[in-house]
Amino acid sequence: MLYHTSIIGGLAAGVLARLFMLRLDYRQYPTYPHDLITHIALGSIASLIGAVLIPALLLKQYTAVTFLALAAEQFRNVRNMERETLTKLEETELVPRGLDYIEGIARTFEARNYLTMFTAIVAGGLIVWFGWIYAAAAAAIIILLLQFIKTGSVVGDIAEVNVARLHFQGPVLMVEDIFMMNVGLAATRDKILSEGLAVLINPKDDNGRAILHSVGQRQAILHTAAALLGTKRDIGEPDFMPLARKNIDTGAVGLFILPLEKDFECLRNIIERTPVLESASRKPLDTQAGRIASD
């Protein structure tokens, strides 16, 4: 009976942890009930596998451990499923996420199933050895830690975002002294000057400069800004495409967007809260050569 209670408690803790980690946000994915059901179902399976692990080991049913290997394979398939789905959706995005952002989201969904399983294992084990009170307290602590862990670094941690001058040199659109693109039509240039926004993203140190060097990181910033502020770009209108290009001498990034809502403070907040992608995260200052080069 104790083992049955342990399995039920571990399953409940794992499912609850997965529900806390499954939250709709600016990335707008998943958004449909079918996607939510898929992830809740996979989270429930992960919870069940984790919940039965401790009772199986205590009953010397060591073959049950093979379920962990099977689960790992299935969760890798979750990453592939997310990657394929988001890659197909890229074809209809006016401002794409970028492959780096997609890979980061896919890894996140895979990792959250492992965290769900871990929560169920801990809760189930504590019920067996110490009782419900300790298990409930541990599950609550793990869920709070998961909320902290999944936050990660954001662009505001590695760079400063300031308003920038948007202007033309002949037909060339410039953000401060950074070349953006050629705009041929005078009417289009007037619209960009009157309705466009420009910011300068200045890295705080060499680590920030290395991160902003990543094209994938810059594309993630553009997608996030367009998703929240909106963009006036439509099919076949390359002149209204949001752009982020860097100053090759300083590493600062100039960003231009023609938003539906012209609000600089909102744009600054969006950029500062954009996550730093795992694939873009680099820390040259953590190496001796990087520190010497920065001096």
Cα–Cα distances in Å, from 292 out to 243, 283, 284? Answer: 33, 13, 10
Q: Are 123 and 17 contained in the same domain?
A: yes
Q: Which of 118, 151, 184 is the last residue of a domain?
A: 151
Q: Which of 121, 151, 181 is the last residue of a domain?
A: 151
Which structure tokens are listed for 196?
A: 């466009």
Which structure tokens are listed for 237?
A: 């209108």
Give me the domain span that covers residue 245: 156-294
Q: Which is more confidently placed, 194 or 25? A: 194
Instruction: Measure the N-to-C terminal CA separation of the chain; round to a whole number of Å.
Output: 66
Q: Which of 126, 151, 176 is the last residue of a domain?
A: 151
Q: Are 199 and 255 a contacting pair, CB within 8 Å?
A: yes
Which structure tokens are listed for 212?
A: 């902003």
Q: Are 123 and 61 contained in the same domain?
A: yes
Q: Is the pLDDT of residue 184 over 90?
A: no
pLDDT digits (tens, 9 = 90+) for 53-102: 888 888 887 776 777 777 777 777 778 888 888 888 888 888 888 888 88
pTM over 0.85: no
**What total number of domains does the chain contain?**
2
User: CA 139, 140, 143 angle in degrees (round to 5)?
Assistant: 85
CA–CA separation, 197 and 186 (whole Å): 18
pLDDT digits (tens, 9 = 90+) for 122-168: 888 888 888 788 888 888 888 888 777 666 788 999 999 999 999 99
Q: What is the DSSP letter of 59?
A: T
Calculate the CA 187 to chain-centre distance: 37
